[in-house]
Amino acid sequence: MVTVVSDVNQERRRQHLWIVLPAYNEEASLPPLLERIAAAMLEAGLSYHVVIVDDGSKDSTWQIVQQASRQMPIVPLQHAVNQGLGATIRDGLTHAAEVAEADDIIISLDADNSHPPELIPRMVARVREGNDVVIASRYRPGSAIRGVSLFRRALSFWGGWLFRIVFPIAGVRDYTCGFRAYRGEVLQRALAEHGDTFFDQEGFQCMVDILLKLSRSPWVFWEVPLVLRYDLKGGVSKMRVGSTMTNTLALLFRRRLGL
């Protein structure tokens, strides 16, 4: 059950950004990230709201969200108990799709400060140029990764190659990164077509599943290079690498078989 704590029915420009942050125990990372978002949006002159879904955090994340909502345009949503990334992404993106106009842009990124919000204006520009989904990619010229072990980088690299072989999507190399920009219409039509089954994955593999389902429609996908900064994370990683890889690969082959 999600509680909506603020009202966003207000006068706004035709095209608006809805920045979705799934947050769980992010008391160290969230304040600097919100400051960076506010600065980046001000510099670019972009109209925006930040939709933060607190997934039953046990630290002061929810209190930080409530306090920040008095200073910047935030839509605070809260899970009473932890439900996992799949449910948190579902509720954030669904809410954004419900309040957005068809030509608004919906952004998702991690709340741990590893994804640079300064990249958002470039992603928005690519959507405005005619792309429907723009992904911040670790596998494009100009990308870089900091603070990730060589083992995890190798797993990610070879996993990416396997995704492209088993389920190729034109314009896509990075299937798992959650830093994306969607034209509002894309998610609105996907929800209308799939209903509750559009978000039916519980773990980190939910981001892969969203992409695979969207690829069945004639949307245009594009990527921009990402500088991933795990060294700026305020806490430990919540991903269980072994189970995440297993679940993601199983999902990939099921979708390839049409299941």
Q: Which tens digits make up the pLDDT trace of 104-140?
A: 999 999 999 999 999 999 999 999 999 999 999 999 9
Cβ neighbourhood burial of 258 (10 Å; 0-12, 13-18, 19+): exposed
| 107 to 33, 127, 186, 193: CA distances (angstroms) | 14, 11, 12, 21
For residues 211 and 221, give the distance between their C-alpha atoms in angstroms, rounded to a whole number.
10
Task: Determine how many CB atoms are found less than 10 A away from the CB of residue 164.
Answer: 15
What letter represents residue 187's amino acid?
A: L
Closest of 93, 136, 96, 85 to residue 115, by C-alpha: 136
Which of the 8 DSSP states describes residue 119? G
Closest of 52, 11, 45, 17 to residue 31, by C-alpha: 52
For residues 226 and 223, give the distance between their C-alpha atoms in angstroms, rounded to a whole number.
9
Give rounded-to-5 percent helix, strand, coil for the chain: 40, 20, 40
Q: What are 17's strand-pairing partners?
A: 48, 105
Give residue 231's pLDDT. Answer: 85
Its sign, for the CA torsion 63, 64, 67, 72, is negative
Pairing of strands 133-137, 221-225: parallel
% the chain with pLDDT above 90: 69
Q: Which two tokens stand for residue 92?
A: 């954030």
For residues 170 and 181, give the distance between their C-alpha atoms in angstroms, rounded to a whole number.
16
Give residue 40's pLDDT. Answer: 98
In the chain the domains, ranked by start, together with CATH numbers, are 14-256 (3.90.550.10)
Taking only the tens place, the pLDDT of each residue in 51-89 is 999 999 999 999 999 999 999 999 999 999 999 999 999
Alpha helices in the chain (DSSP H): 30-44, 61-68, 85-99, 120-128, 150-166, 184-194, 206-214, 241-256
Which of the 8 DSSP states describes residue 238? -
Give residue 243's pLDDT. Answer: 62
Q: Which two tokens stand for residue 14?
A: 């035709």
This prediction's pTM: 0.87
HSE at residue 48, side-chain half, CA atoms within 13 A, is: 29
Taking only the tens place, the pLDDT of each residue in 7-34 is 554 444 569 999 999 999 999 999 999 9
Give residue 236's pLDDT. Answer: 54
- CA geometry: angle at 242 spanning 236 and 243, to 5°? 95
